[in-house]
Structure 1
Amino acid sequence: VKDANGVITQKRDEAGQVVITRYQPTLLQAAATAANGTFIPADATDKAARIKAAVSRLRTGGKMTQAGDTLSPRFQLFLLPAILLLWLDTLLAGRRARRRRRAASAETAVAAGLLLVCMTSGCAPARESIDGAAAYHAGNYAKAAALFSQVIQKGDRSPGALYNFGTALLAEDSTASAAEVLERAADKADPELQYRARFNGGLAHLLRGRAAQGDSASAELKGALALYKRVLLQRPTDLDAKWNYELALEKQKKGGGGGGGGGQSNAAPTPSQQEQKPQPTLAQRQAEQLLGSAEREERDVQSRKQKQNKPEPPPGGKDW
């Protein structure tokens, strides 16, 4: 063998004795048999043929796998704990059912748009709020408005309570009262609720403007344009706001009068009640022009304020 320096030398054991390897065919044969292999003696004259035959047998040897019916089913090990958990869940189902019945109205789609507003504004949902949301969901808007009005009469004048009341009035077609209540709701509301209140308030003005004639229609349409412009300043991609703004603008052009007002706001989802309409057609370029006009108006206002605050030069030239 080669040592660490690459010099060929004799292999020695730990005692320094030369290691002698002896050929024992019987031992090798037993090892090959135990390993399910093939032993080819050193003195065989047809080693190549035997090796080829052994390799051929290895390639064609069968392979044993376990699949399908040969596998031992073990899902029973997990079945018993699952049954125990199901039994425990059945025992607790009665208690959970009672809790769900108490909060059943909070799981409806209307509660997500009305009661959630009240809860996030810091007020505990009164019984009238829950019943009002249920009535609103059932289409009984007059009852819903009456119940939400009771909440306000009891002292809850939070933006959420005002929004619920105004939205119910809007659904009841009391658009004049709805616009006033929703305007109050948007004054001190959080961004999400502020958007909802302004959107529904704009819808109230739009419905009144389309139904009225003359100067009264022009005033209502101006109010709708002002509110929807604020909505679009916050959410330029709101298709419902774009569509309603376009309706108000088209009606105003047919009836005469000036343009809509400006402003900026915080935004949120779409209103609870709205007439059916086709897909909005306001182009992105028109929306950008609208927003650019609002920005120019804001810059003009700031410029006028700066000019007002600038001192006038003394009469008769420079004051040395």
Structure 2
Amino acid sequence: MATSRLPPLQTLRVFEAAVRLRSFTRAADELALTQGAVSQHVRALEAQLEIALFSRGRTGVEPTAQALALALQVRQGLRVLERAFGLPSVREVRATRLQNETITLVVSTLPAVALRWLAPRLPRFHARHPEIRIDLRMSVQLARLDSRDRVDVALRYGPGHWPGLSSEKLMDEEVFPVASPAYRDGRLPRRLADLARCTLLVQTAQPWEPWFQAAALALEVPDDAPVFDDMNRMLDAAADGAGIALARRSLVEAELADGRLIRLWRRSIVDVHAYYLVWRAESKKRAAIETFRAWLRREAAASVRGGMPSY
């Protein structure tokens, strides 16, 4: 009998994944192989066919036109074999592997920080790191980060030192007044001194006095000013036109972008508190924490620049 020239099934799977993903590294990750093993399979197939299937450059690999055409046929053939023998597809195998390897990281932070800054960004983290599941816990109480509260890491807004815990500063916070463009039917204050005739919204953790001092204003918040114990509610009230709020920049990014809130003047202060990531050095989930920590650094840097990180 003549020897079959059909390449091994694993080689065909590796080739199809490398073409589809346009990356030996990503193909290796999908198939649970090393990048070196992927390269060996591709080289073996190229030697057997006596053609180059990929162009290799400094920026990575790019399938040739012949590779694209061949991969389409290979993909169709693999699907026929998978259906015929009841085999799981590559994506199903990877999904099962990821499910078995998924690590849950419990993250605690303030409700306003969770809803207005962290949660909108988490889809990017999940897309980049599907092996780590984020369980977001919202609370105004400081998590102990121990076996009792089962919290692995916390995103805190504070002075930056918590005994017994490791911490890293992520970003400072800029504070300035904001108002709805519909406040007082659009008659917004023009001069700083006009604030004396405006309704000032107060949040217990964000006093107006430091901003008054930076603006050289001899003002005091009236005793009958609306007081909120929740930052979300205060900012929602400001967006509804109830008054002027002293806002943290990171928490009003969306409202400033869509025009629901307007920044009044350029005068601002850098708050005495900042955002910190906090964890226990002895945590058994240090690898996942390090991954989350590196991602948060990029997100915080992009937030300060007023843009989105690029990957």
The TM-score with structure 1 as length reference comes to 0.22
User: TM-score w.r.t. structure 2 length?
Assistant: 0.23
- Give 1 or 2 for the bigger CA radius of gyration: 1
Higher strand residue share: 2
With a CA cutoff of 8 Å and minimum separation of 6, indicate the structure with the bigger relative contact order: 2
